[in-house]
Each structure stands twice: as structure tokens, then as C-alpha cells.
Amino acid sequence: IARYGAVGGTIIVANPRTGEILGMSSWPTYDPNNYAAYPPTDPANAAVSGQYEPGSTFKILTMAAALDAGTVAPQTPFVDAGYIEVGGVPIRNWDGRAWGPVDMTGCLQHSLNVCLAWIATLMGPNTFYNYMEAFGIGHLTNVDLAAEVGGRLKRPGDPDWFDSDLGTNAFGQGVAVTPLQLLTAISAVANGGALMQPHILLRAQDGDSTRLTQPQVVGRPIKPETAATLSEMLAQSLERGEGSGALVPGYRLAGKTGTAQIPLFGRYAPPQTIPSFVGWGPV
């Protein structure tokens, strides 16, 4: 936050196999003994009550859906012309470039908006949004913390959904999540396809009696083989430089960066962005 002059930030560390939240921190913080001194619009805990557009970290879920549905495979070729039109709206890559011939791992490595929008159009809205629902996007995680919000996933039939949303949602724009909601969804990829109930409470103890919080599977949005395939693709993506700053010597990690533009009065206003990263390991 200090290095980039950011308005705020959030970090969450969790065990994807159990849903246990191991660490959670957000800034700016607040004093619960003097809560009235803070604006009511400020989220008390941005990890569960701060909604934002996730940007390219959301591409993990789009690619997971496409792989699981059989729409694409890791070696599926794509010729990136740097431009695609979805619902009459032009979509370009984050850097404005055309990357030429790539496969699906290359689409993740170079974080190609055009490629992911193309994949979403191949899936079609029913398949795409059904998978996003299965990942819990647009719904509360029901974590054991107060003031959680559910984000927003527009779907066909909603008055403010347009055909172009299928293309932009594919790379995490026009959809709202909380940091915990996104982490919970992507943890299913790290956990062999099983979506776990996130929880803070480890155990309750009363004298000699101890009750542990038991891991709970709340869904299986993708198949185990899909999760393994995508983890490998994202590990290769990191190793090829997409997020080399996240690499740790001696461990093989998977992950994805994201840089979302911020909507202001119905339009995006660069250069302000929300950068993020989701990673896991050892793969």
C-alpha cells in the first residue's frame, strides 16, 4: 500500500482443502471501540464486505468452466488479433497488442482479454453463467463473520444484462466479488474441484470438551481432472513470467494476476486500477 500509494488492500491466506482461513488482514482498519467515528459506507472488513471487479484473476474461473465443459483443451489454438466484438462492443487486450498464435496456456500467461471473451462466446451464456453460479459467484459464502455481502453476477434476463456482458465478465469486468468470495471459488481449483465452506472458527472449548469445526464440501463445480489440468496450466504460466514475482524457490506454485479498471459514473477511468493476485501451492 505504501509503495504504490494505494487507497487500501486486503490479504487472505486459507487452506483450500478445509476452508479454514489462516490469516486475514485489511487496511484501512477501524477501532471497534469507536465504531461511530467511521463513515457507515466504509466496509468494516473489506475481505468480506468490500465488493470490487476482480479483473483477470476471474479468468481462472472462465478457463475452468471452458475446460470442464469440453469447450477448449490446453492445446486448443487461438490466433489473437488483439480485438473481438461481443454484443456490438469492442474488446481489446490489456496492453492493446495482438499476440498472434497462442494456446490456452498462452492465453493465461499473457492474460489475453480477447481470448477469454472468445472462449465465453464459445461456451454461450447458459453454460458460462451456470458455472459461475456453481462457483458461488453472486452469493454469500456464509463465512462465520459479520457484514458479509454477496457480490453481483448479472445473468441473461436481468434488466441490466447485455450481450456484451458475456465477453467482459469472462475477464472479470462487470462482475462484483468480495476477496473472500473469489478466494473461495478459486480454492476449488486448488482442491481438486471441491468447493469448501470457508470458516474462521477453528474450535470451541468448554472445560474438557472441545468441538472442532469440521470441513464441509458445499459444491463440486468442476471435475478433479479439470482442476489438475488448470493448476498445471497456471503453474506453467507463472514459470513463463506471467507472475514471476510470486515464485518461491523450492516450491511449484500456480496463480494468476489481475488488474481491473475501476468504474466511475458508469465508465472506466484509467489509470486507477485494482491489482490483485491469487495463488496456491505446492502444486
| Residues known to be catalytic | 56
Q: Compute the residue count for the chain.
A: 283
Amino acid at the residue 128: F
Bridge partners for 86 per DSSP: 89
Nine-digit cell at 81? 488479433
Element (H, E) at 267: strand 267-280
Give the C-alpha distances (Å, rounded to integers) separating 139 from 177, 181, 184, 218. Answer: 9, 8, 11, 13
Task: Report the DSSP beta bridge partners of residue 212.
Answer: 203
Nearest to 128 by CA among 111, 93, 153: 153
Interatomic CA distance for residues 155 and 133, integer angstroms: 10
The conformation of residue 142, written as its DSSP 8-state character, comes to: -
Cis peptide before 74 (omega within 30 of 0): no
| Nine cell digits for residue 84 | 473481438
- Under a CB-based contact definition with an 8 Å cutoff, are residues 119 and 66 in contact? yes
Nearest to residue 201, comparing CAs of 79, 19, 75?
A: 19
